[in-house]
Amino acid sequence: MNKDELQQLSEEALKKVIENLGGSARSNQQEMTQAVAKSLAEKRNLVVQAGTGVGKSIGYLTPLLLRTALSEQVQIVATSSLALQRQITSRDAPAVAEAVEEVTGKAVNVQVLKGWSNYLCRLRLNQGDDALLWDDAYSGATGAEEVAALREWGLECESGDKDDVPFKVSPASWRQVSVSRRECIGRACPFLDECFPAAAKEKAFDADVIVTNHALLAVMVGGNPEIFPDFDAVVIDEAHDLASRVRTQGTAQLWPSQIRRLARVARSLSRSGAGELEDASHRLEAALDDCAEGLLVIRTEELSSAMMAVDDASRSLRSRIKGAKGATEEITVARVRAGLESIDEVMDAWSREPEQMILWIGKSRNDERYVNIAPLAVSPQLYSTLFSRHTTVLTSATLSVGGNFEQIKWASGIGRGECDYLDVGTPFDPGKQGILYVAAHLADPGRDWPDDQALAELLALVEASGGGMLGLFSSWRAAEAATEFLREKTELTVLFQRDDNVPALVEEFRLDRDSCLIGTMSLWQGVDVPGDSCRLVVLDRIPFPRPDDPIVAAQQRAAERAGRSSFHEVSLAPAALALAQGAGRLLRGMDDRGVVAILDSRIHTRRYGQYLRNSLLPYWTSTHSDTVKAALRRLA
Ligand code: SF4
């Protein structure tokens, strides 16, 4: 199918989707649909920024489902969270599939594919913590009633899917009835024929379009192509998050206590040599205790030799557990092998060129030190496994920073090959709907931010708007200080992120027009409240990444080594992206009006401020406190 045909059919199908959903045509959405159709037909990668209000999922699903209907090739959609996967499969994809069937006469089967631990594990239901080998963070945790209810539900449910559980389940309880892909013993499992995650995977493999998440895509990028069937193209939504998700997924970790747990399981196998592994775990623990928490630039001799000892002991254990006698021993052998594979992954990362890896020492809640190793750059991997092999569309509301696409090109690696770049804008009119206020009269944020003047400014803004304020803070300490201050000085309901789960708080914020919601980084992306319940968004400071974050510190060193500007590459560009995400919480609907207030005067006084302002929607901008407060009073 050539470009013109796919574009024409996409236009037709998009009209039908809009008719069926009762919406109205938007030129930005049409432009996006046409660009994605061209990309798919010409097999050319595309980066497309589509602002809030465009309806981007329908914008890309329409040509993607058409392409599937006409080519019979499998396509993938990957988004950042399970919630977005749900939204696509329950609302947008069925509407698009219906329109595509009307246009082509062909039905398209869209299925969701989630990670293994989103489903009940029958082995765990039967064996409890005994079936858990590697991650025992929640084993023996409270919630016995919930776990009992889950066991009962497991006997009668069809899917075993966490989303289908008809009652509320805490993460701790769920952890007690599920396993990660790594912990699954696969063919050795006596419940394999009735395994929930395996059945879900099989169902997804029969689909024409698979809707998955970044984490699973990252598993594929990390060298596991079998996680998906052969596919043609992939659309990656919320693509501004992709590189960090891939790095998180690719981070190998090793805890001495987990090695000991593995050794304990292995001890039941005769002549396993588990004692050697246990000794190695103690050696590793001692070596880690001598290392400071954080980035480890030079590997100490003790740590290197302890890692070698773990490697030797795990190899020796593997060579001794070749055969298994009886079904019970077979399960134990499979569990030990799964544990050894995890050690192999860490050793593989450890043996790579140190300059290309980030090595840091973490500390768990119970003060145990552990090893983390992550790739310094994920772009080569993303390019070689994805962008150079499959037509890829990257999309998000925030992909261009400072007015260009350099950041996403550099961070994801899509710029290593041919690619088109497009910003379809937003149907909103930011210059008329929103004001960007920079409190230029305040001092630069210091250690004890927010200071008295900043808190007074926050209070004045909130009083002018009569509430309806979303406060996005860059640290818990600052968020807590602002919450306490507003609770003391106003009668308004002030919701604080630590008081409840985020969806419940956001719902309360939405329903109570004059309430305020205050939180930290997860709210910068996760709040979608159209209407006047959110008429003031306050950002306390420029969200520069923390320089003591080991990944940030390693990236800064690498940029400096290569003679590039570490400030621009590692600090400014990610801060601009986060700022755009935060400020983007204001306008969520065509009738929304309001103010984005930034209490960090550096946006106005520093040279890089212009770059940051260029990363935001083109709001009407002001530094005049009185003018802005007058506007807020009109919205109150
Ligand atoms: S195959 Fe894996 S996930 Fe399925 S029941 Fe067995 S251990 Fe659990």
Task: Check the CA dihedral 252-547-243-397 and report its sign.
Answer: positive
Is there a contact between 455 and 480 (Cβ–Cβ < 8 Å)? no
CA-190 nearest atom, ligand 1: 6
* Tens digits of residue pLDDT in 467-505: 999 999 999 999 999 999 999 999 999 999 999 888 889
Contact 236 CB / ligand 1 (< 6 Å): no
Percent of the chain with pLDDT over 90: 74
Element (H, E) at 497: none
pLDDT of residue 324: 61
20 or 325, higher pLDDT: 20
For residues 527-543, average pLDDT: 95
C-alpha span between 29 and 58 (Å, rounded): 8
Q: What is the pLDDT of residue 128?
A: 61
Ligand 1 near 189 CB (within 6 A): yes
Domains along the chain with CATH numbers? 3-109+207-246+378-423 (3.40.50.300), 116-199 (no CATH), 252-375 (1.10.275), 430-635 (3.40.50.300)
Q: Which residues contact 137 (CB under 8 A, 6 or more apart)?
A: 175
Which two tokens mark 251? 């981070």
CA 183 to ligand 1 center in whole angstroms: 9
Residue 137 has pLDDT above 50, yes or no: no
Mean pLDDT value of segment 369-373: 96
| pLDDT of the residue at 365 | 81
Å from CA of 83 to ligand 1 middle? 25
Distance 123 CA to ligand 1 centre (A): 6
* 588-623 pLDDT per residue, tens: 999 999 999 999 999 999 999 999 999 999 999 999
Scanning the structure block, which residue is given the tokens 């083109």? 618
199 pocket-lining for ligand 1 (C-beta < 6 Å): no
pLDDT of residue 130: 54
The answer to whether 376 touches 356, Cβ cutoff 8 Å, is: yes
Over residues 181-206, the pLDDT tens digits come to 888 888 889 999 999 999 999 999 99
Residues 516-540, mean pLDDT to the nearest whole number: 92
Q: How confident is the model at residue 272 (pLDDT cuts 50, 70, 90)?
A: low
Q: How confident is the model at residue 141 (pLDDT cuts 50, 70, 90)?
A: very low
Higher pLDDT: 273 or 605? It is 605
How does the average pLDDT of the chain come out, rounded?
92
Give the number of the atom of ligand 1 that is nearest the alpha carbon of residue 192. Answer: 1
Q: Please give the distance, rounded to the nearest whole angstrom, from the Cα atom of residue 153 to the centre of ligand 1.
A: 17
CA 189 to ligand 1 center in whole angstroms: 6
Going by C-alpha positions, the residue among 401, 463, 429 that lies closest to residue 625 is: 463
Query: 181: Cβ below 6 Å to ligand 1?
Result: no
* Contacts with 606 (C-beta within 8 Å, 6 or more apart), sequence order: none
- Residue to probe by mutation, ligand 1, list 122, 125, 182, 330, most atoms within 8 Å of CB: 122
For ligand 1, mutation pick of 184, 187, 196 (most atoms within 8 Å of CB) = 184
Mean pLDDT of 575-587: 95
Ligand 1 pocket, 123 CB below 6 A? yes
Ligand 1 pocket test, candidate residues 116, 117, 119, 121, most atoms within 8 A of CB: 121
Place of tokens 């209810």: 149
CA of 201 to the centre of ligand 1 (A): 12
Q: Which residue has the higher pLDDT, 36 or 165?
A: 36
Q: Is the pLDDT of residue 289 over 90?
A: yes
Angle between helices 326-350 and 256-267 (to 10 degrees): 150
Q: How far is the CA of 180 from the centre of ligand 1 (A)?
A: 9
**pLDDT value of position 136:** 47
Q: What is the CA(177)–ligand 1 centre distance, in A?
A: 11
The 3-state DSSP class for residue 80 equals: coil
Number of C-alpha atoms within 13 angstroms, CB side, residue 168?
A: 3
Nearest CA to 515 out of 558, 482, 544, 486 is that of 486
Q: What is the pLDDT of residues 210-245, one digit of tens each?
A: 999 999 999 999 889 999 999 999 999 999 989 999
With a 6 A CB cut-off, is 280 part of the ligand 1 pocket? Answer: no
- pLDDT of residue 139 exceeding 60, the answer is no
* Per-residue model confidence (pLDDT) at position 163: 86
pLDDT value, residue 325: 67
Pocket probe for ligand 1: among 150, 179, 196, the residue whose CB has the most ligand atoms within 8 Å is 179
Ligand 1 centre to CA of 223 (Å) is 22
- State how far Cα 293 lies from the chain centre: 25
Sheet holding 110-112, edge to edge: 110-112, 209-213, 75-79, 233-236, 391-396, 45-49, 419-423
Q: Is 191 in the pocket of ligand 1 (CB under 6 A)?
A: yes
Ligand 1 contact, 200 CB (< 6 A): no
In the reported structure, the alpha carbon of residue 285 is separated from the centroid of ligand 1 by a whole-number distance in angstroms of: 31
| Closest C-alpha residue for ligand 1 atom 7 | 184
pLDDT tens for 317-370 read 988 887 666 667 788 888 888 889 989 999 999 999 999 999 999 998 888 999
Rounded to whole angstroms, the Cα distance separating 63 from 233 reads 11
| Residue-level pLDDT at 82 | 81
Report in angstroms the alpha-carbon separations of 343 from 286, 355, 386. Answer: 18, 21, 26
- Is residue 185 within 6 Å of ligand 1 at its C-beta? yes
Ligand 1 centroid from CA 443, angstroms: 57
Give the mutation target among 133, 157, 185, 337 for probing the ligand 1 site: most ligand atoms within 8 A of CB: 185
Q: Closest Cα to atom 3, ligand 1: which residue? A: 121
What is the C-alpha R_g of the chain?
26
Taking only the tens place, the pLDDT of each residue in 412-460 is: 999 999 999 999 999 999 999 999 999 999 999 998 899 999 999 999 9
Tell me which residue has its CA closest to atom 8 in ligand 1.
Answer: 121
Q: Whose CA is nearest to atom 2 of ligand 1?
A: 184
> Which residue's CA is the closest to the ligand 1 atom numbered 6?
189
Share of the chain above pLDDT 70, in %: 96
